[in-house]
Amino acid sequence: MNNELVTVELVQLADYRFENRFGADVPALHTDEPAPLGSGQGPSPVQLLCAAVGNCLSDSLLFALRKFKQQPEPLHATVQAEVGRNAEGRLRILQMHATLRLGVPAGQLQHLERVLGQFESFCTVTQSVGQGIPIAVQVIDAEGSVLK
């Protein structure tokens, strides 16, 4: 597989608010820092990282289940980032926790144990971010049963 170069262009609109440009076919996204630094007129970088991790995990889980012709929809993901001070007193993301909820009971899905054992390893973003930030992943079915 060839390497791919992904480019996002950021243009400052005012203070900490930026327009994020992803390319001709993708709508721009405005980001901002929350108050008191910014005005909160868009997601913050920490929120974008949470979204990227949650989106990638959801995509990986969905892809793995669909390989076995399973329909787990609708999926729902919640990602939390604990932001705190490191040893030098600087704000950092200390850890993240992702909860993925299947849209159906586990009993309706075949090969679920196999999928749960491997889907995370195919998640490009989570595996990359996880090299520097601990990320705990939990999977729950539609009935609330913790599967992973």
For residue range 109-136, list pLDDT tens digits in order. Answer: 999 999 999 999 999 999 999 999 999 9
> Six-digit token pair at 67?
């390989």
Q: Under a CB-based contact definition with an 8 Å cutoff, are residues 19 and 91 in contact?
A: no
Q: Mean pLDDT across the stretch 5-15?
A: 95
Of 109, 3, 5, 17, give the one whose Cα is nearest residue 64.
109
Overall average pLDDT of the 58-81 stretch: 97
Q: Does 77 score more than 70 pLDDT?
A: yes
Together in a domain, 22 and 7: yes
Instruction: Kindly state whether residues 123 and 71 are assigned to the same domain.
Output: yes
Are residue 60 and residue 33 in the same domain, yes or no? no
Is the domain of 50 the same as that of 34? no
Percent of the chain, pLDDT > 90?
98
Domain range for residue 52? 45-140
**Residue 20 and residue 74 share a domain:** no
Distance CA 54, CA 79 (A): 6
Total domains present in the chain: 2
Residue 5 has pLDDT above 70, yes or no: yes
In this predicted structure, what is the pLDDT of residue 1? 59
Separation CA 122–CA 117 (nearest Å): 11
Instruction: Assess whether 77 and 124 both reside in one domain.
Output: yes
pTM: 0.92
CB 123 within 8 A of CB 60: yes
**147 assigned to some structural domain:** no
